[in-house]
Amino acid sequence: MPQNPEKIQDHVELFHQPEYQQLFENKKQFENGHEAEEVQRVAEWTKGWDYREKNFAREALTVNPAKGCQPLGAIFAAVGFEGTLPFVQGSQGCVAYFRTHLTRHYKEPFSGVSSSMTEDAAVFGGLQNMIDGLANSYQLYKPKMIAVCTTCMAEVIGDDLQAFINNSKQAGSVPQDFPVPYAHTPSFVGSHITGYDNMMKGILSNLTAGHKKETSNGKINFIPGFDTYVGNNREIKRIASLFGFDYTILADNSDYLDSPNTGEFDMYPGGTKLEDAADSINAKATIALQAHSTPKTREYIEKEWHQPTSVSRPWGIKGTDEFLMKLSELSGIPIPEQLEIERGQAVDAMTDSHSWIHGKRFAIYGEPDLVYSVVGFMLEMGAEPVHILVHNSNEVFEAEIKELLASSPFGQHATVWPGKDLWHMRSLLFTEPVDFLVGNTYGKYLWRDTKIPLVRIGYPIMDRHHLHRYATIGYQGVINLLNWTVNTLFEEIDRNTNIPSKTDISYDLIR
């Protein structure tokens, strides 16, 4: 029968059709599930303190981790450089996951290849896969650089990337002078921010080799870290242009992850020029915009480049103030008047909305730098953190977040939960409820269970469109963070006051 494309239904409506509902009912006879009453009883039990104690006692099981694995961060770092193709030494399934995860967040095609390792490579090693894979990638996709990282399989069998790349070049897979930086990124340790750091160090050490000069080029380097808001790189470039100094972003993936639709496919849009990255060794200083996704890279720059580094997180008023003063100090240029005006606008916006956020209790989860930065902004608004969960935490982060909390009267009652996952967060929200939750898309399941409104900040955000295009740093970022937070609270107020003649006493037109 001919199909009518106008009658194609989205899955939101499709699976409510009678034939699908009957299919679901038929499945139950084969699933041997419990009766609905028993499911409901257990569900209610999981909301209490007794279950919370059992939940927090588990050690060998992770349920819904609040982190990604190393290669995800590695390929994210790689595409910030001009003409760079990420190459994963591992199976096709692994790289498909990484690409899909990023594509679903950005709604953009994310290119990356694998060496297609299978069972035979697991036994005999992946050298031949590397030789063939680099040759095919170089010939088919015409990159200017191929950045190689590993998956669990390659790490377990002990593939030596440096030796494999050298052997591949000797076999003629790519020219001898073609840049093939690499990073070992085992998924069973660390997280996506570790992989970002490993790859950034690998790329910079490869590109800058032999490029050290006697004099500085006078530039300032910026390392964004695992920052998934493309508006932030653009905000850094705008701020630097207002100051008027030269800079290099290591690396700028904003155009790659937010490319224009011109009708022609460009596999490598934008990115930091390779020659600029090579010359970054001669900059006067490097500023990392995240601490916990850059420790190895910063240590390398200080020891090998003999270049000073610092960390500035320009989130919120205080963070942005400190960042701009650092730029003024390094450049010798006063803070531009335009930025002073924008500061006043941000403070005015905070004044308009503070009464709706002040005193509100919130929970948050995410990677260390994001959590630190958002908590700092919320404290400026007078919000009170209760549960702070960072799955990929470390001792340095725990010390600095506790120092931040101690610096504000609104941070005195917060508890930091390092190494915990989102099933732990579920217990926390049921036993000690809060007014709102801050996190990525995976928090929507917590919202469904607990009815606590979710402010979507972080990575990945796959169920809402275009949030990644905004800036979260600088004074413009203050307004965006404020907008997402206060309007989420307003939506919740409207939801709870929208029944005519019952709850609509405060269903107000004006907030």
DSSP string spanning 138-164? HHHH--SEEEEEE-HHHHHHT--HHHH
List the domain boundaries for the chain: 70-208, 220-337, 352-497
* Nearest-angstrom CA–CA distance, 420 and 229: 25
Q: Which residue has the higher pLDDT, 307 or 117?
A: 307
Q: SS3 for 364?
A: strand
* Nearest-angstrom CA–CA distance, 110 and 317: 34
Question: Class of 220-337 per CATH?
Answer: alpha beta
Mean of pLDDT values over 456-479 = 97
pLDDT in tens, 392-410: 999 999 999 999 999 999 9
Element (DSSP H or E) covering residue 92: helix 92-106
Q: In this prediction, what percent of the chain has a pLDDT beyond 90?
A: 88
Catalytic site positions: 152, 156
Question: Class of 352-497 per CATH?
Answer: alpha beta
For residue 312, what pLDDT band results from cuts at 50, 70 and 90?
very high
- The letter for the amino acid at 444 is K
DSSP string spanning 198-241? HHHHHHHHHHTTT---SS----EEEE--S---HHHHHHHHHHHH
pLDDT in tens, 161-173: 999 999 999 999 9
Mean of pLDDT values over 345-369 = 98
Cα torsion angle, 390, 396, 402, 403, sign = negative
- The letter for the amino acid at 200 is M
Whether the per-residue pLDDT at 475 is higher than 90: the answer is yes
Element (DSSP H or E) covering residue 75: helix 70-78
Are 149 and 182 spatial neighbours (Cβ–Cβ below 8 Å)?
yes
Whether the per-residue pLDDT at 1 is higher than 60: the answer is no
- The letter for the amino acid at 2 is P
Q: Which residues neighbour 1 within 8 Å (Cβ) at sequence distance 6 or greater?
A: none
Query: Do strands 220-223 and 285-288 pair parallel, antiparallel, or not at all (unpaired)?
Result: parallel
Q: How far is CA 200 from the centre of its chain?
A: 15
- How is residue 306 annotated by DSSP? -
Place domain 70-208 in its CATH homologous superfamily: Nitrogenase molybdenum iron protein domain (3.40.50.1980)
419: tokens are 């190494």
Which of 157, 97, 96 has the alpha carbon at shortest distance from 121? 157
For residue 319, what pLDDT band results from cuts at 50, 70 and 90?
very high
DSSP string spanning 101-122? HHHHHHSS----EE----HHHH
For the ranges 87-101, 168-182, 225-239, 282-296, the lowest mean pLDDT is seen at 87-101
Amino acid 32: pLDDT? 82
* Nearest-angstrom CA–CA distance, 449 and 85: 41
Is there a shared CATH topology between the 70-208 domain and the 352-497 domain?
A: yes
* Nearest-angstrom CA–CA distance, 33 and 121: 41
Mean of pLDDT values over 397-425 = 97
Helix axes 368-380, 474-496, angle to 10 degrees: 70
For residue 63, what pLDDT band results from cuts at 50, 70 and 90?
very high
Amino acid 69: pLDDT? 94
Q: Is the pTM of this model over 0.75?
A: yes
402: tokens are 């506790």
What mean pLDDT is reported for the chain? 95
Residue whose pair of structure tokens reads 């009453």 in the numeric block: 37
In 208-358, DSSP assigns E strands to 220-223, 247-249, 285-288, 309-311
Amino acid 2: pLDDT? 63
